[in-house]
Amino acid sequence: MRKTVLTVLLVLLGALGMAQGDKLKACWIYVGPVGDYGWSHAHDQGRLAAEKALPWLETQYVESVPEAQAEAYIDRLVKQGCQVIFATSFGYMDSVLAAARKHPDVIFAHATGFKRAPNVATYMADFYQLYYLNGLMAGALTRSGKVGYVGAFPIPELKRHISAFALGVRAVNPDAEVLVRWIYEWYNPAAAKEATEALIADGADVLAFTEDSPTVIQVAAKKGIPSFSHYSPMQSFAPDYVVSGQLVHWEKIYIDFLAKVHAGVYTNKNLQDVDYWWLLPQGAVELGGEFGVPVNPKFIPALKAKKVKSPVFGEISVYDLVMKELALMSDVELAFDPFQGPVTDRQGKLRVPAGLRMTKQQLETMEWAAPGVTGPWPNEPK
Amino acid sequence: MKRLGPFVFERELVAPPGRVLAVSLAAVFLAFFSAGLVFWAYGVSPLLAYRTIFQETLLSPGGFAEAVRRAIPLLLAGVGLVLAFRSQFWNIGAEGQLLLGAVAASGVALFVPLPAVAKLPAMFAAGFLAGGLWAALPALLKLRLGVNDVLTTLMLNYVAVYLVGWLIHGPWRGRSAFGFAYSDRFPPEATLPLIPGTYVHWPTLLLALAAALLAWWGLERTVWGYRLRVVGDNPEAARYAHLPVSRVVASAALISGGLAGLAGVGEVAGVHGRLLDAYQISLGYGYTAIIVAWLARGNPLGAVLTALFMGLVFASGDVMKVALQMPFRVTDVFNGLILFFLISTERLLYYRVRYAPRKKGEG
Amino acid sequence: MEDWLWTALLRALAFGTPILLAGLGEIYAERSGVVNLGVEGMMALGALAAFATAQTSGSPALGLLAALAAAALAALLFAMAAVGLRANQYVAGLALSMLGLGLAGLLGKPFEGAPLERTLPEGAFVAGALLLALALWFFLQHTYWGLVLRSAGENPEAVDAMGVNVFLVRYAAVAFGGAMAGLAGAFLSLAYRPSWADGITSGLGWIAVALAIFASWHPLKAALAALFFGALYHLSYRLQAQVTPELLKAMPYLFVVLVLSLSALGRGPSGAPEALGTPYERGERR
Find out whether A165 and A134 touch, Cβ atoms under 8 Å: yes
- Domain range for B122: 74-308
Output phi, psi for A104, to 5 deg: -65, -15
SS3 state of residue A290:
strand
Q: Are B17 and B114 part of one and the same domain?
A: no
Return the pLDDT at A16: 44
Instruction: Spell B203-222 as b/e; 16+ CB within 10 A means b.
Output: bbbebbbebbeebbebbeee
Residues of B in Cβ contact (< 8 Å) with A76? 56, 318-319, 322-323
Give the torsion through C-alpha atoms of A141, A147, A150, A155, to 10 deg: 110
* Closest among C42, C178, C172, C193 to C116, alpha carbons compared: C193
Q: CA of B166 to nearest chain C CA: how many angstroms apart?
A: 6
Q: Are B333 and B304 part of one and the same domain?
A: no
Residue A3 pLDDT grade (very low, low, confident, very high; cuts 50, 70, 90): low
Find out whether C230 and C14 touch, Cβ atoms under 8 Å: yes
SS3 state of residue A242:
strand
Give the torsion through C-alpha atoms of C232, C234, C240, C241, to 10 deg: -100
Within an 8 Å CB–CB cutoff, is residue C260 touching chain B?
yes
Distances (CA, A) of C48 to B25, C65, C107: 32, 12, 8
The reply to whether the predicted model has a pTM over 0.80 is yes
* C257·B331 Cβ contact <8 A: no
Q: What angle do CA A30, B279, A180 make, to 5 degrees?
A: 75
B319 assigned to some structural domain: no
Distances (CA, A) of B32 to A113, B54, B78, B342, C176: 41, 13, 22, 12, 29
Query: What is the amino acid identity at position B132?
Result: G
Q: Are B290 and B352 part of one and the same domain?
A: no
Q: What is the DSSP letter of C37?
A: T
Write a three-state SS string for A127-173. CHHHHHHHHHHHHHHCCCCEEEEEECCCCHHHHHHHHHHHHHHHHHC
**Number of other residues whose CB lies within 10 A of the CB of residue A290:** 18
- Overall average pLDDT of the A325-335 stretch: 87
SS3 state of residue C119:
coil
Q: Are B273 and B344 part of one and the same domain?
A: no
Within an 8 Å CB–CB cutoff, is residue C233 touching chain A?
yes
Residue B321 pLDDT grade (very low, low, confident, very high; cuts 50, 70, 90): confident
**DSSP per-residue codes, B254-296:** HHHHHHHHHHHHHIIIIIISS-B-HHHHHTTHHHHHHHHHHHT
SS3 state of residue A109:
strand
Nearest CB neighbour to B271, from listed A64, A68, A156: A68
Q: Give the whole-angstrom CA distance, residue B11 versus residue B352.
A: 6
Is the pLDDT reported for residue B358 higher than 60?
yes
| Minimum Cα–Cα distance from C89: chain B residue | B343
Mean pLDDT of chain A: 88
Domains in chain C: boundaries: 2-264
* A67·B281 Cβ contact <8 A: no
* C109·A35 Cβ contact <8 A: yes
Is the pLDDT reported for residue A41 higher than 60?
yes
Find out whether C183 and C67 touch, Cβ atoms under 8 Å: yes
Q: CA of C63 to nearest chain A CA: how many angstroms apart?
A: 20
SS3 state of residue A87:
strand
Nearest CB neighbour to C238, from listed A191, A198, A214: A198
Q: CA of C152 to nearest chain A CA: how many angstroms apart?
A: 37
Chains in touch with C (3+ beta-carbon pairs under 8 Å) read A, B
Q: Give the whole-angstrom CA distance, residue A343 versus residue A361.
A: 17
Nearest CB neighbour to B339, from listed C95, C100, C270: C95
Residue A17 pLDDT grade (very low, low, confident, very high; cuts 50, 70, 90): very low
Residues of B in Cβ contact (< 8 Å) with A73? 318, 321-322
Is the pLDDT reported for residue B131 higher than 90?
yes
Domains in chain A: boundaries: 23-125+250-278, 128-247+286-374
- Higher-pLDDT residue of A21, B96: B96
Digit-coded pLDDT (tens) for C179-223? 999 999 999 998 887 778 777 887 889 889 888 887 888 999 999
Nearest CB neighbour to B333, from listed C106, C213, C254: C106
Which alpha helices (DSSP H) does B54-172 contain, by range?
A: 61-86, 94-111, 116-145, 149-169
Q: What angle do CA B52, B331, B49 make, to 5 degrees?
A: 20
Write a three-state SS string for C39-82. HHHHHHHHHHHHHHHHHHHCCHHHHHHHHHHHHHHHHHHHHHHH
Find out whether B68 and B231 touch, Cβ atoms under 8 Å: no
Burial class (CB in 10 A: 0-12, 13-18, 19+), B18: exposed
Bridge partner residues of A109 (DSSP): A86, A121
Return the pLDDT at B339: 83
Within an 8 Å CB–CB cutoff, is residue C134 touching chain B?
no
Residues of B in Cβ contact (< 8 Å) with A159? 179
* C102·B162 Cβ contact <8 A: no
Q: What angle do CA A326, A212, A28 make, to 5 degrees?
A: 90
**Number of domains chain B contains:** 2
Q: Are B268 and B344 part of one and the same domain?
A: no
Q: Give the whole-angstrom CA distance, residue B53 versus residue B57.
A: 6
Residues of C in Cβ contact (< 8 Å) with B328? 105
Instruction: Spell C232-265 as b/e; 16+ CB within 10 A means b.
Output: bbbbbbbebeeebbbebbbbbbebbbebbbebbe
Residue B218 pLDDT grade (very low, low, confident, very high; cuts 50, 70, 90): very high
* C203·B158 Cβ contact <8 A: yes
Domain C2-264 has CATH 1.10.3470.10: yes
Residues of C in Cβ contact (< 8 Å) with B347? 85-87
**Number of other residues whose CB lies within 10 A of the CB of residue B357:** 10
Q: CA of A195 to nearest chain C CA: how many angstroms apart?
A: 5
Chains in touch with B (3+ beta-carbon pairs under 8 Å) read A, C
Distance of CA B47 to the CA centre of its chain: 29
- Is the ipTM, as predicted for this complex, more than 0.90? no
Within an 8 Å CB–CB cutoff, is residue B332 touching chain A?
no
SS3 state of residue A182:
strand
Is the pLDDT reported for residue C64 higher than 90?
yes
Residue A15 pLDDT grade (very low, low, confident, very high; cuts 50, 70, 90): very low
Across the A:C interface, residue pairs with CB atoms under 8 Å apart total 73
* C237·A198 Cβ contact <8 A: yes
Q: Give the whole-angstrom CA distance, residue A147 versus residue A373.
A: 9
| Minimum Cα–Cα distance from A64: chain C residue | C198
Return the pLDDT at C274: 66
Within an 8 Å CB–CB cutoff, is residue A63 touching chain B?
yes
Digit-coded pLDDT (tens) for A187-234? 778 888 889 988 998 899 999 999 888 889 988 998 999 999 998 888
Q: Give the whole-angstrom CA distance, residue C269 versus residue C286.
A: 17
Q: Give the whole-angstrom CA distance, residue C154 versus residue C143.
A: 16
* B155·C210 Cβ contact <8 A: yes
- Overall average pLDDT of the C114-141 stretch: 88
H/E stretch holding A276 reads strand A275-278
Residues of A in Cβ contact (< 8 Å) with B273? 94
* Closest among A291, C81, C112, C255 to B337, alpha carbons compared: C81
H/E stretch holding B8 reads strand B7-11
| Minimum Cα–Cα distance from A71: chain B residue | B199
| Minimum Cα–Cα distance from B138: chain C residue | C257
User: In terms of CATH, what superfamily is A128-247+286-374?
Assistant: Response regulator (3.40.50.2300)
**DSSP per-residue codes, B168-212:** HHTTT--GGGTTSSB-PPPPGGGS----TTS---HHHHHHHHHHH
Residues of C in Cβ contact (< 8 Å) with B334? 102
Find out whether A329 and A336 touch, Cβ atoms under 8 Å: yes
* B162·C260 Cβ contact <8 A: no
Q: Are B35 and B159 part of one and the same domain?
A: no
Residues of A in Cβ contact (< 8 Å) with B325? 61-62
Burial class (CB in 10 A: 0-12, 13-18, 19+), A9: exposed
Return the pLDDT at B168: 87
Within an 8 Å CB–CB cutoff, is residue C162 touching chain B?
no
Q: Name the percent of chain B lying above pLDDT 90.
A: 39
Nearest CB neighbour to C197, from listed A191, A193, A213: A213
Q: Are B245 and B119 part of one and the same domain?
A: yes
Q: What angle do CA C75, C79, C85 make, to 5 degrees?
A: 150
Q: CA of B151 to nearest chain C CA: how many angstroms apart?
A: 8
Q: CA of B12 to nearest chain C CA: how many angstroms apart?
A: 15
Q: Over the Cα atoms of chain A, what is R_g?
A: 23
**Number of other residues whose CB lies within 10 A of the CB of residue C150:** 19
Within an 8 Å CB–CB cutoff, is residue B321 touching chain A?
yes
Return the pLDDT at C207: 85
What are all long-range contacts of C164-170, with beta carbons under 8 Å and residues at least 24 apart?
Answer: C166/C280, C166/C282, C167/C83, C167/C84, C167/C280, C169/C32, C170/C32, C170/C33, C170/C34, C170/C79, C170/C83, C170/C280
* C113·A201 Cβ contact <8 A: no
Is the pLDDT reported for residue C130 higher than 90?
yes
Residue C282 pLDDT grade (very low, low, confident, very high; cuts 50, 70, 90): low
Mutate to test the interface with B, among C40, C97, C258, C260 (most CBs of B within 10 A): C260
- Overall average pLDDT of the A49-78 stretch: 89
Nearest CB neighbour to A62, from listed B178, B180, B322: B322
Fold exhibited by the domain A23-125+250-278 = Rossmann fold (3.40.50)
End-to-end CA distance of chain B: 16
Within an 8 Å CB–CB cutoff, is residue C250 touching chain B?
yes
Digit-coded pLDDT (tens) for A102-125? 999 999 999 988 889 999 999 999
- Higher-pLDDT residue of A360, A11: A360
Find out whether B105 and B268 touch, Cβ atoms under 8 Å: yes
Is the pLDDT reported for residue B190 higher than 90?
no
Lowest mean pLDDT among A17-21, B149-153, B214-218: A17-21
Within an 8 Å CB–CB cutoff, is residue A33 touching chain B?
yes
Q: Give the whole-angstrom CA distance, residue C242 versus residue C251.
A: 16
* C237·A183 Cβ contact <8 A: yes
Q: Give the whole-angstrom CA distance, residue A89 versus residue A1.
A: 56
Return the pLDDT at A311: 85
Instruction: Spell C48-74 as b/e; 16+ CB within 10 A means b.
Output: bbbbbbbbeeeebeebbebbbbbbbbb
Nearest CB neighbour to B318, from listed A73, A79, A184: A73
Q: CA of C45 to nearest chain A CA: how many angstroms apart?
A: 18
* Closest among B95, B120, B121 to B186, alpha carbons compared: B120
Chains in touch with A (3+ beta-carbon pairs under 8 Å) read B, C
Q: CA of B271 to nearest chain A CA: how many angstroms apart?
A: 7
Is the pLDDT reported for residue B5 higher than 50?
yes
Find out whether A180 and A149 touch, Cβ atoms under 8 Å: yes
Output phi, psi for A120, to 5 deg: -130, 115
Return the pLDDT at B214: 95
Helix B285-295, helix C89-107: angle, nearest 10:
130
Residue A129 pLDDT grade (very low, low, confident, very high; cuts 50, 70, 90): very high
Return the pLDDT at B363: 47
B317 assigned to some structural domain: no
Find out whether C191 and C122 touch, Cβ atoms under 8 Å: yes
**Number of other residues whose CB lies within 10 A of the CB of residue A311:** 6
Is the pLDDT reported for residue C286 higher than 50?
no
H/E stretch holding A179 reads strand A177-182
Distances (CA, A) of C87 to A102, B206, B222, C34, C277: 49, 34, 31, 11, 10
Q: Give the whole-angstrom CA distance, residue C202 versus residue C124.
A: 22
Residues in Cβ contact with B82 at an 8 Å cutoff, skipping those fewer than 6 apart = B215, B293, B296, B298, B299, B300, B302, B303
